[in-house]
Amino acid sequence: MVPKTFSMLLLLIALSAAVVGGRKQVVLGGWRPIKDLNSAEVQDVAQFAVSEHNKQANDKLQYQRVVRGYSQVVAGTNYRLVIAAKDGAVLGKYEAFVWDKPWMQFRNLTSFRKV
């Protein structure tokens, strides 16, 4: 009886490994590429980042577009965006980190720098 039970256990382990091995592993809390950079949500976050930076740094950057972006689900959503913005006539790229918790009406610019 023991050898039969042991064989069944090995079979179950092998099947489990095959099923898990066939799936893509999702890293909880990891950064994931944003598929639609033109979505209203991403555009809103990007424009907020530029506007908030302008307030904090007494700057006058003009938002142009999102070049690339990643999101991370935590207690809300962290956004890591590369944003094209004009400083006068000069187009530059900036990296912005924004923490967003829409159910609390909370949005915070964590970091903004030229890249």
Q: What is the pLDDT of residues 1-28, one digit of tens each?
A: 555 655 554 444 544 444 444 444 545 6
The pTM of the full predicted model, rounded to 2 decimals, is: 0.75
The verdict on residue 21 lying in a domain is no
One-letter amino acid for residue 108 of the chain: N
One-letter amino acid for residue 81 of the chain: L
The verdict on residue 70 lying in a domain is yes
The verdict on residue 99 lying in a domain is yes
Element (H, E) at 17: helix 2-22
The verdict on residue 43 lying in a domain is yes
Q: pLDDT above 90 covers what percent of the chain?
A: 75
List the CATH number of the domain containing 39.
3.10.450.10
The verdict on residue 80 lying in a domain is yes
Q: Which DSSP letter does residue 99 get?
A: E
- Supply the range of the domain harboring residue 48: 27-114
The verdict on residue 16 lying in a domain is no
Residue 78: CB partners within 8 Å, gap ≥ 6? 71, 72, 97, 98, 99, 100, 110
Number of independent structural domains in the chain: 1
The verdict on residue 3 lying in a domain is no
- The pLDDT value recorded for residue 29 is 81
Partnered with residue 70 across adjacent β-strands are: 33, 80
Tokens of 62: 């003009």
Distance, in Å, from the CA atom of 14 to the CA atom of 81, rounded to the nearest integer, reads: 42
